[in-house]
Chain A
Amino acid sequence: MTSLTKDPSQEVELAPLLEVRSLRKAYGDRVVLDDVSLTVAPGDVVCLIGSSGSGKSTLLRCLDLLETVDDGQILFEGDDITDPRVDAKRVRRRMGMVFQAYNLFPHLTVLENCVLAPRRAHGLRSKAARERALELLERFGLAEHAHKHPDRLSGGQQQRAAVVRALCTEPTLLMLDEITAALDPELVGEVLDIVRDLAARGTTMVMATHEMAFARDVATTVCFLEGGRILEQAPPDVMFTDPAHPRTRAFLRRVLG
């Protein structure tokens, strides 16, 4: 398993962790992703921005093999994972995904949510899985809630627990789909702090987000999606100060006010 953190001494020339080539996805006649290409190197934090319905969630779902693509390729750690012969389960074990709606399992406690995949999908011993989960819960201030059921927690706590659950399998790539969109503004901070912490530790992430200030802060690359296409792709300082595409400018004017 590849390490979560990147070694700062070898910044240069890392083989891409993820390479998306001309991805296409349609639901019936409706083309939702059209010729999407994207490269993610280890340690990158890619932020997908764009208005609702532009295809951000669909792209993330395709990357996690939750949808079959209609054309194009996704290379993960050098393997073409869109090949039908690839075992999706094995690929997903190396990825983590957090959804907007938390999607914690309501019948399990927070701790049980966190040890489920390490034990049942990764074959970790119960003790080791619990130790790792408790350590992560502790780090993100959830230790006291470990034995509660998700419904007893606030939205922010639930979403933090969902991030911890995804981290417990030590994924090489973490995908976050608007994880703060369902939260109170005052709870957004505590969730974003986690993500910021992960970014600082060099976790490779692809995330859809509406938090522009945050994207500007942590992203290494920002992608602007519209109508299923990546219209523009640039480092945050360029994207937010001098976007090339008029549509990007219009979108940013709208969301930044």
Chain B
Amino acid sequence: MSDTIWTPSDVELARRAVRRRQRTVSLVIATVMTALVLGLLGLVLVLSPGWERFSETFLSWGDARASFAAIRDGIWLNIRLFLLCELAILPLALLIAIGRGTRSPWLAPLRVVAVVYTDVVRGIPTILLVVMLGFGVPALQLQGLTNDRIFWAGVALVISYSAYVAEVFRAGIDSVHPSQVASAQALGLGHVRTLRHVVVPQAVRRIVPPLLNDFVSLQKDTALVSAVGVFDAVFAARDYTNYNFNYTPYLVVAGFFVLMTVPLARLTDWLQARVVARERAGAR
């Protein structure tokens, strides 16, 4: 377009200098404010009357090291449980959400089941589901079914979370503008194809943040399997504290759980930013 190679004018260079200065000022303000707030919080903690005793029972380096190996082995179970449950939850929840949205009179029973399922399951505290299934099903001694408590605790998590995630999916599906459905139908796509190729892909982009919320929540709730005596990270920590009367292992477990969620959060942010950059470019 331009024949000559462009060099920024003095005005532009001055503007860049101003922007650089503004960035530096912002950075300084952000750093100082963060340090100030964190410093104050730390001070409140350290100056509290019980700090001495607190740091002995919660911040003991020796106990952290001693319990580390068992907790690390336990967290591996939490991770596997989380990944497998998530794989089951996503399609199940999508089915429930789509089931609720069907229009055909033949599928009325499916709609009823989907509504009842989400209403009932979301009403039951997850820990009760875990205990009921984890202890209950093995007690039935059914032929051909495993008595593995980890398995049944996992099933409980899948049941509980698929109800929540289904509602997230449904909200996402409802948020796609009706004109999109109309355009797809005008192209001759049926209800299922419209959902599959037009509505769900758009809905999924919008529900990534709330979905991540439920994922993180599930990661933590894998700790509920310790209620049925499964040797996960929390169980390992409790085991240690019961014998040594020191609560530091709980902090170690908390640290592990945080480490688990951070990569997922960063991944979702990155995915989201990529979609925005690609699809919202120059939105006007």
Whether A and B are associated in the same complex: the answer reads yes
| B 103-151 contacts with A by CB, 8 A | none
Cross-interface CB contact of B284 among A35, A57, A85, A227, cutoff 8 Å: A57
CA distance A22 to B2 in the complex (A): 13
**Minimum Cβ distance to chain A for residue B187 (Å):** 20
Residues of chain B contacted by A99 (CB below 8 angstroms): 284
Cross-interface CB contact of B2 among A31, A82, A85, A101, cutoff 8 Å: A31
Q: Is A232 an interface residue (CB 8 A)?
A: no
Residues of chain B contacted by A177 (CB below 8 angstroms): 284
CA distance A185 to B53 in the complex (A): 80
Given contacts A71-B11, A72-B9, A84-B19, contact A100 B284 (CB under 8 A): yes
**Minimum Cβ distance to chain A for residue B26 (Å):** 12
**Minimum Cβ distance to chain A for residue B202 (Å):** 16
Contact with A along B54-77 (1 / 0, CB 8 A): 000000000000000000000000
Contact with B along A86-108 (1 / 0, CB 8 A): 00000000000001110100000
Residues of chain A contacted by B19 (CB below 8 angstroms): 84
Q: Is B18 an interface residue (CB 8 A)?
A: yes
Given contacts A31-B2, A85-B18, A229-B1, contact A72 B284 (CB under 8 A): no
Q: Is A61 an interface residue (CB 8 A)?
A: yes
**Minimum Cβ distance to chain B for residue A254 (Å):** 20
Residues of chain B contacted by A61 (CB below 8 angstroms): 284
A22–B9 CB distance below 8 A = yes
CA distance A70 to B8 in the complex (A): 8
B2–A72 CB distance below 8 A = no
B11–A84 CB distance below 8 A = no
Residues of chain B contacted by A100 (CB below 8 angstroms): 284
Nearest CB in chain A to that of B21: its residue? A84
Q: What total of A-B pairs shows CB separation below 8 Å?
A: 38
| A 33-84 contacts with B by CB, 8 A | 34-35, 57, 61, 70-73, 82-84
Nearest CB in chain B to that of A100: its residue? B284
Given contacts A85-B18, A99-B284, A101-B284, contact A70 B12 (CB under 8 A): yes
Given contacts A83-B15, A83-B18, A100-B284, contact A34 B1 (CB under 8 A): yes
**Minimum Cβ distance to chain A for residue B100 (Å):** 24
Q: Is B6 an interface residue (CB 8 A)?
A: yes
B1–A84 CB distance below 8 A = no
14 contacts between A and B (CB under 8 A): A22-B9, A31-B1, A31-B6, A34-B1, A35-B2, A70-B12, A71-B6, A71-B11, A73-B11, A84-B18, A85-B18, A177-B284, A227-B1, A229-B1
Interface residues of A (CB under 8 A from B): 22, 24, 31, 34-35, 57, 61, 70-73, 82-85, 99-101, 103, 177, 227-229
- 13 further A-B contacts with Cβ under 8 Å, apart from A31-B1, A70-B8, A83-B18, are A22-B9, A24-B6, A31-B2, A31-B6, A35-B2, A57-B284, A71-B12, A72-B12, A82-B15, A85-B18, A85-B22, A177-B284, A227-B1
Interface residues of B (CB under 8 A from A): 1-2, 6, 8-9, 11-12, 15, 18-19, 22, 284
